[in-house]
Amino acid sequence: MIGHRVVSLVVVGVVTATVLASGPFVPVDFTSYDRPCEGGALSSQGSATIEPASIPESATLTRSAFGAEVWKLDAPDAELRASDVRGCVRLSYELSIDALGISSMSTTTVSDDSPERHRLSIPKTTLEPDRVSEERYDAEVRLVYHGVENGTAVERAVVDRSITVEVTE
């Protein structure tokens, strides 16, 4: 009986010591995850060659079928290829509809150890029913590169195109 108690106390002691050693009071990190890009999704301290593979030419505003009385904006994903990546670059994919006063954007970071192909999605956006009154809206799609060229931080559009957003019931 005493043997079980001693083993239990040793196990509880080891777990407690591990939790305390890796907790907020003593900054010991037992993980082996390398962070390739300091700053995460906001990192833009590198360079790359970006080639768009597929950028949408249209999007839709669809009335919700479940009685929520909202319009949902759906846009196809943007697909791209990144090559000659050095360090970390940030890419943002944005869809803006000026007539409705909305802009939806997603961001990703590409680093030397990222795959060559990337897919960016516009987050699901909803609108109140009284805001949509037309059958179609003009919109702008942008794929923007944030990186460094010749030692200077740059932000440039890889793709900047006008598209049509169709309204469907």
CATH number at residue 65: 2.60.40.2030
| 12 in a structural domain | no
Residue 114: inside a domain: yes
Q: Rounded mean pLDDT of the chain? A: 83
Q: Is 121 a domain residue?
A: yes
pTM of the model: 0.72
Q: Is residue 77 part of a domain?
A: yes
Predicted local confidence at residue 66, as pLDDT: 73
**Per-residue model confidence as pLDDT tens digits over 104-122:** 999 988 888 888 899 999 9
Q: How confident is the model at residue 129 (pLDDT cuts 50, 70, 90)?
A: confident
Which pLDDT belongs to residue 60?
95
Tell me how many domains the chain contains.
1
pLDDT score for 82: 93
At 39, the pLDDT band (50, 70, 90 cuts) reads low
- Comparing CA positions, the residue from 56, 54, 52 lying closest to residue 140 is 56
Residue 36 lies in a domain: no
Judged against a pLDDT cut of 70, whether residue 19 lies above it is answered with no
Supply 112's token pair: 């030397």
Could you give the percent of the chain with pLDDT greater than 90? 49
Residue 37 included in any domain: no
Q: Is the pLDDT of residue 34 over 80?
A: no
In the predicted structure, residue 167 carries a pLDDT above the cut 90: yes
Q: Does 82 map to a domain?
A: yes
33 in helix, strand or coil? coil
Residue 21 counted as domain residue:
no
For residue 58, give its domain range: 45-167
The distance from CA 16 to its chain's CA centroid, rounded to whole angstroms, is: 37
Contacts of 128 (CB under 8 A, 6+ apart): 70, 71
Structure-block tokens of residue 63: 């009335």
Q: Give me the pLDDT at residue 73, please.
A: 93
Torsion-angle region of residue 88: left (phi > 0), alpha (psi -120 to 50) or beta?
beta
Task: Give per-residue pLDDT as tens, 42-101.
Answer: 567 888 999 999 999 999 999 887 766 889 999 999 999 999 999 889 999 999 999 999
Provide the pairing of β-strand 58-63 with 117-120: unpaired
Tell me the residue type at 55.
Answer: I
Exposure b/e, 31-46, CB count within 10 A at least 16 = b: eeeeebbeeeeebbbb
The residues near 36 (Cβ < 8 Å, ≥ 6 apart) are 88, 111, 112, 113, 114
